[in-house]
Structure 1
């Protein structure tokens, strides 16, 4: 973990990484403290509400970072029909190289805690809502009309997160490649 980060940032980053690897329920504040190289007192100094507060901030930070990958992966391609599968190929490579761990904890944690931690479910919904807004705006700027951009965003995010689960479970990049190719077919040639 980067020594240049503030203690608060190290704690938040450690929580995100642990949730990405093992989920919310299996993550303990002791593990967060150890990974962040921060004494337990620092955790409660920066996050007086404890584990749930750390998790909420970690989800927001991870979600904000995760959505920045969209333009990073797609902007080099002028045509969305090339950009979409390229982004899925890159995601597949990254997931395989990372040893099949979750790429982002937000949706995984949302599924894990949807009924048991309503406050964290609300944070995950807030993050996903921001993804939908940002992706819709992005695809509108890339040439889709607003309604089509919104539908495509929902399909893309749903397919991506489902493909992550299948790829992780099967230890295969095939689901991510298939989704990228299939979504490309949904882009009407007159809209890009």
Structure 2
């Protein structure tokens, strides 16, 4: 469920290629080192781009680049989750499969942070309104889309939205616990809890 490969695959030649390399490098560095722990020179080096090119493509500096990382990654991650869920008619099984895939991703990344959005949100929610708003809107979009998927499966509103919000909270929290423990067990435990929440909502409990 890593977004960086999907973002990188959209690269074109020329100036757009340079811009995309900068964005891809920022995604990876924010994911591994955090927003505050990543410098603009590090991004330029990782992208193989001149330092000044970052400000050419992102004149608003690090905050603008961070916002684009959040919004671009948000779309990619939502597409990944939707791709896992939509083949299932059974919303419970679909939800469990997302968590199982997340556990696999966490292991493949050697327990590095798989989601730059949550990392940025936790770091700057109280200090950078531009990035707080971006992360809030991304999480809100996730909730709306997953709620619509649950509603299409028969879970009525507002339970569908509450269920989607709970599932996302479980997933992001499980990532944090899994990284700290260097174990997939928190994610797999959250999978069972999320499936139980969806099952209860579908039963009208």
**TM-score, normalised by the number of residues in structure 2:** 0.87
Of the three residues 47, 51, 59, the one matched with 1:36 is: 47
Distance in structure 2 (CA, Å) of the matches to 1:2 and 1:94: 18
**Unaligned runs of at least 5 residues, structure 2:** 1-7
Shift of the alpha carbon at 1:61?
0.4
Contact 2:27/2:69 (<8 A) preserved:
yes
The one-character-per-residue Cα deviations of 1:116-152 (angstroms, maximum 9, x if unpaired) are 2222111111211111111112222232212111010
Distance in structure 1 (CA, Å) of the matches to 2:95 and 2:11: 35
What residue in structure 2 maps to residue 170 of structure 1?
A: 181
Shift of the alpha carbon at 1:33?
0.6
Of the three residues 131, 135, 145, the one matched with 1:124 is: 135
Shift of the alpha carbon at 1:84?
1.4
What residue in structure 2 maps to residue 153 of structure 1?
A: 164
Tell me: CA distance 1:54–1:129, structure 2 relative to 1, closer, same or farther (3 Å).
Answer: same
What residue in structure 2 maps to residue 65 of structure 1?
A: 76
**Unaligned runs of at least 5 residues, structure 1:** none
Does residue 196 of structure 2 align to residue 185 of structure 1?
Answer: yes
What residue in structure 2 maps to residue 56 of structure 1?
A: 67
Distance in structure 1 (CA, Å) of the matches to 2:11 and 2:141: 28
What residue in structure 1 maps to residue 121 of structure 2?
A: 110
The one-character-per-residue Cα deviations of 1:51-95 (angstroms, maximum 9, x if unpaired) are 111111111101111111222112233212211112111110111
Aligned residue pair count: 191
Distance in structure 1 (CA, Å) of the matches to 2:158 and 2:95: 18
